[in-house]
Structure formats: structure tokens, C-alpha cells
Amino acid sequence: MTDLDKHQRMANAIRFLAIDAVEKAKSGHPGLPMGAADIATVLFTQFLKFDPTSPNWADRDRFVLSAGHGSMLLYSLLYLLGYEDFTLDELKNFRQIGSRTAGHPEYGHGAGIETTTGPLGQGLGNAVGMAIAERLQVERFGKDLVDHYTYVLAGDGCLMEGISQEALSLAGHLKLNKLIVIWDDNGISIDGKVEITDSTDQQARFAASGWNTLSVDGHDPEAIAAAIRQAQASDRPTLIAAKTTIGFGAPNKAGTAKVHGSPLGAEEIEGTRTALNWPHQAFEVPSDILDAWRIAGLRSAQAHKDWQKRFADADAESRAEFERRNRGDLPATFTKAVLDYKKKLADEQPTMATRKASEAVLTVINEVVPETIGGSADLTGSNNTKTPQTEPVTPTDFSGRYIHYGVREHGMAAAMNGMALHGGLIPYSGGFLIFSDYCRPSIRLAALMGQRVIHVMTHDSIGLGEDGPTHQPVEHFAALRAIPNLTFFRPADITETLECWQLSLENKAGPSVLALTRQNLPSLRKSFEEDNFCARGAYVLIDSEDDAAVTIFASGSEVEIAAEAHGELSRAGIAARVVSVPSFELFEAQSDDYKADVIGTSPVKIAVEAGIRMGWDRFIGNDGAFVGMKGFGASGPYKELYEHFGITKDAVVAVAKERLGA
């Protein structure tokens, strides 16, 4: 058997596993695995550094299948290479409930899947973050411990998505030369030929953003290998445009959209077996080919051993720190630093915008948590995410801790996911809350993958004032509260801001959004409590000695209004209590007794929030009173806007009295 024969048979093993699994599931995407099998075979058997017996080895190369619909390519590879999570039975269970082999690769379903992909372009964005993370970690731990590539397989769809532009221009700017993107350039998407909808010169586009670009025949193993070698030596990120035929080998459907996303069908499969000279049963991989793949799986075992030796030789402090950061544990000094600062705040009672409060808190955090990597989408001075500890990262210097992401919210959020997935870092960054919409798909994926990324989102309501309705979030609180496993925080003062930061950092299993104000807010917590009250999601901030006739629920900046209304009601002899609600999600996680206690039995329940009502009925009931927004905001000084939209102490008092008939 010549080398070429062997290569082709190994690639055919991928093709037929994909064909057979899609056929058995009666759904899936055979076209991409069939077309990209040659690329994958070259990459995984000659270049990729990985160890199937230790899939989470920190210094492995990362492989991201950005074109997630081609999931069977990845599952076939993982099986063939000997990853224990991906057995033949798992492949036979493709797309079934509870299998590791979901329709699209899902992070956490099995070791070997580096990220969840499917929403096109996201993988490319993640990979940029992984490549950034690698450079950052090299600066911190040295090349002996950190020295790996990030490879991406992207399709036409990934490159058509807008996020690709943000991702590639950031990567080009930062000169991420260990990022290698292979474009499965098959000219086909779902509606037919790509040329019916797109005529971009992709290589020119990448080159214009500072990439090295190459083009190869994606079915020629030697040409693919030569291109990867060139890419590895580049001082810039590389795009390899690999011309392929979608559904390679299918006699009638290859090269057409018909093979993109449906089973080939028995007849076409027979034809493909003949055309590719693969006379084997479904799911049967001849033993010599399986052996060849398993041997390929052992390729980096020595590299892994060498790495382990270098790690063992490193000084004890570096080893412990490397392991701690990769486990995602916070430093032992963290809690004390938080509590010391909390005591200081209780003494000083500062009045400040929660965005400023966040900066003050971050200054404390960044001093004791060296693995935070800050940033902002060109709003550093507004988001207050930069602290004295965080010098900017530049194309030539990755020793810093602050990334100027540019006006690229979507690319930023996807890169943050990639950094978190890479491990060893806690990415946080800033933007305007209104533009959470611009990064929502990536935030959703962070939630789905359970990744600790922290979004500081400032200018969180009409309280931002003159910039007007285009910039004033109204439905965004509800929209973010709707994402499962995302914790959305709206702290009411600096102490709550501190507590919400603490909770965000301590939550290793999901992302957080901190919605923060532009306008000043007074300190509402009057005394020091070691307990993190925000951890309960909602808590009684001001209680009433008598049975309360009125309970006012509020979040963020509107807790001040609730407290003022409480004062006036008290003066009028009406017993009232105030509940601060920094997080709906954390409240829902409390015991039924606690929730019932906090909601209480006041005959009048009022919620105050400068957003839409959606979600508040949980607290106030269908018949509760809501003081908030009904539509878009307006441009004007913020205090006047609160008057204009009737979100005031007087409005709360009036509705309370009206309901009580007082």
C-alpha cells in the first residue's frame, strides 16, 4: 500500500463513518465530512498535538470545527484516534437523546470537543480567543509549558457570517500567528452554489486584515501538509483556502447542495462504496486502517511525556499557580480581600455610579486575582473596566491584562468564550448594555457551555440620559434573564456591586452579566455583613416592624426610588418593606420557604424597574402594580426622563396609596 493509498483509506474511514451515522440517524450532514476528510486526515495524523489518553492536557493544540453541522467529521476522528468517550456505539447513536454525539458538537458531551459549534462563525470567534489565551499564557508561564497552535476548520457559512469579520480583523491586528484557519472552500451552501449569494474574494479579505493566505487542493495530502507547514512558520495568522468537493465520492450528489444536510440514501451509498473502493459493511473500519488511526493517536505521546517532564522541572510556585488557574480555582486570598473592602464600604458609605463602583471593586479583585483579563469594546472610559493592574495587550506584547477589543462586541464575546474554554484565564469585558444584543449569540453559547465569562454592561437604562432611545435598554433585562444558566445582575449600590462581582467570579459553571449605571447611586447597605446578600437573588433591604401593607420590589438604580418611597410611606403611617432584587436567577434557586418569605403577604405589591414589566409578575402577581417602562425611552437629562416616564418616588407612593384606598 502506498502512502497515498493509506491516506485515502484513512480518509475514507472518516467518510463512511459519517455516511453511515447520518444514514442510521436519518438526519445530519454528510457532505462536509466527506469533503474535508483529506484535510482532517493530514492535520490529525501529521500535525495536531494531542493525547487521546489525556484529552485535557493543557498544552494540546486546539482544533475547532467551526462548521459545526459537520459534527460527524469530529466524532469519527475522535473514535478513530482512540478517545474513550467516542466509542463506535456512540457513533451509532448519533443525534439521539443522551448520546455524546449530538447533532452539533457540544462542549462537555465528551472529551475532545473543544467548544460548542453550530451557529456558524462562532467557532472562528472562539478560536481567536483560544489563540489569544495561548499568547497570554506563554508570557506568564513560558514556552516550556505553553506552546500550541489553534486550528479551525471553517465553511463558507462561517466566512459569510458578520462575526467572521470581527474575529479575523482582531486576529490579524494582534498577529496571532499560531492561529491557522482552514477554509473548506467547496462553493456550496444550503441554497445551492455560494456564487448565487456571495462573490467575496476571501483571501483578499483576510490579507487586507493582516493574514497570511494560501490556497491548496483540499484533496491533495501533500499540498495540504505543505500549506500547514508554511502556516506554522508564519509571523501572522494563516488562512488556507482548501478547494474541496462537498460529498466527495458520492457519484450523483457530490459537488451539490443535495449532500449538504441529508442522508445519502441506500443507493447513493452503494455507489459511493464502489466509487471509493470501500467494500465494507456499515460502521466497519478494516483493522489495518483502524490500527493506522490508533497509531496516529499515539503520535504525540512522547511530546506529552516531554511536557510532563518540563512541568515537573518547573519551580513549585509556577506549577501550583499553573494548576490552580487551569482548575479555575480562585486564589486563597480572594475572600479576605473582598470582605476587607466590604468593611471599608460599610464605613465610608460612598455615593457613586455602579460602573464606577465596579471599577473600584475590580481594582481590589485584579490585585489578588492575576488571571483576570479585562477589556472593552472601545468603551474603556465608559465601562470602567481598566484598573491600574491591567496594561494593554499589544501585537508585540502579551504581558498585559487588558484587551482593547475595538468596536467588535460579537467578536469580543466569542473570543472571551474561547479564552475561558482554553483555560487558565478569567475573561471579563465591557460594553453598553444596549449592545448585549450584538453579542447575544455568544453569551448564549457561554451559558450553554457553562463557561465563566463576565460581561460588564454599563449605561443600563434611561438613566444614561441624553444618548436617547437607541442607547437606552428597555427590554434587555428581560431578554438576558430569559437565557438559561446566565446570571444577570443589576446591583443597587457599591456593596451589591462587590457582592455581584464576587458571585460572578465564584461561579465556575456559567457566565454573568453585570448591568451597571452611568448615574450616581447612594450606598444603601448601612452596615457590614459578612454574608453575601446578593447570593440569594432577592432579599429584604428595609423591613417593617408591623405587618407591611406594601412591599416594593426593585433592582439596580430603582432600589433608591423604592427606599425613598418607603420613607414617605412610613411618614404617612403606612407600613412598607423594600426588597432588593439583584438577580432573578439566584432568587429562583432559593428554597420555597425563603422565596415565600421574601415575597411576603402584603396586600399591595409594587415593582419598580426602568425596563419592561416582563418577569416581575413572579414577585408582584398579575394584579401587582408596576412602575417602569412601557416602550422606548427618549433623549434628555436623566432626572427629567425619570419624571417623564413616571418612574419616581411620588409615582410609587401614589400607586401604593391608591391601592390601599388611603
Pick 35 or 271: Cβ nearer ligand TPP: 35
Give the integer Cα–Cα distance in Å for 171 and 33: 27
* CA distance linking residue 35 with residue 245, whole number of Å: 5
Q: Which is nearer to ligand TPP, 186 or 502 (CB)?
A: 186
CB of 288 to ligand TPP, least distance (A): 30
Q: Check if the beta carbon of residue 499 is closer than 8 Å to that of residue 491.
A: yes
Judged by CB, which is closer to ligand TPP: 68, or 628?
68
For the CB of residue 248, give the shortest distance to ligand TPP in the complex, in Å.
11
Q: Find all residues with CB under 8 Å of 217, minimum gap 6, and list them.
A: 223, 242, 243
How many whole angstroms separate alpha carbon 218 and alpha carbon 39?
6
Q: Which is nearer to ligand TPP, 69 or 518 (CB)?
A: 69
The CA angle 518-521-522, to the nearest 5 degrees, is 160
The sign one gets for the Cα dihedral 216, 217, 223, 228 is positive
Rounded to a whole number of angstroms, the minimum distance from the CB of residue 255 to ligand TPP is: 11
Q: Which is nearer to ligand TPP, 59 or 184 (CB)?
A: 184
CA dihedral 268, 269, 274, 278 (to 10 degrees): 160
State the nearest-atom distance from the C-beta of 18 to ligand TPP, in Å. 11
The neighbour count for residue 4, using CB atoms within 10 Å, is 11
Q: Which chain residues interact with ligand TPP by CB under 6 A?
A: 29, 31-32, 67, 69-70, 118-120, 155-158, 161, 184, 186, 188-190, 246, 260
Q: How far is the CB of 414 from ligand TPP (least distance, A)?
A: 12
368: Cβ contacts below 8 Å, ≥ 6 apart: 331, 333, 334, 337
Grid cell locating 105: 458538537
What DSSP letter does each residue of 184-237 carry, written as one string? EE-SEETTEEGGGT----HHHHHHHTT-EEEEEETT-HHHHHHHHHHHHT-SS-
Q: Which is nearer to ligand TPP, 151 or 322 (CB)?
A: 151
Active site annotation includes 640: no
Least Cβ distance, residue 139 to ligand TPP (angstroms): 34
- Facing residues of 539 across strands? 580
CB of 149 to ligand TPP, least distance (A): 22
d(CA 504, CA 11): 44
- Evaluated on CA atoms 304, 306, 311, 312, the torsion sign reads positive
Question: Closer CB to ligand TPP, residue 411 or residue 537?
Answer: 411
Which of residues 444 and 452 has its CB atom nearest to ligand TPP in the complex? Answer: 444
Q: How far apart are CA 51 and CA 58, in angstroms?
A: 11
Give me the residue whose beta carbon is nearest to ligand TPP: 155
- List b or e across 287-312, with b for residues whose CB sees 16 or more CB atoms inside 10 angstroms: eebbebbeebbebbeeebeebeeebe
What the block records as the C-alpha cell of 285 is 473500519
What does the DSSP assignment read for 107-164? TTSSTT--S---STTHHHHHHHHHHHHHHHHHHHH-TTT----EEEEE-HHHHHSHHH
Which C-beta is closer to ligand TPP: that of 152 or that of 641?
152
In the set 23, 134, 409, 560, the catalytic residue is: 409
Would you tell me how many other CB atoms lie within 10 Å of the CB of residue 495? 27
Amino acid found at 600: G
CB of 304 to ligand TPP, least distance (A): 33
Residues annotated as part of the active site: 409
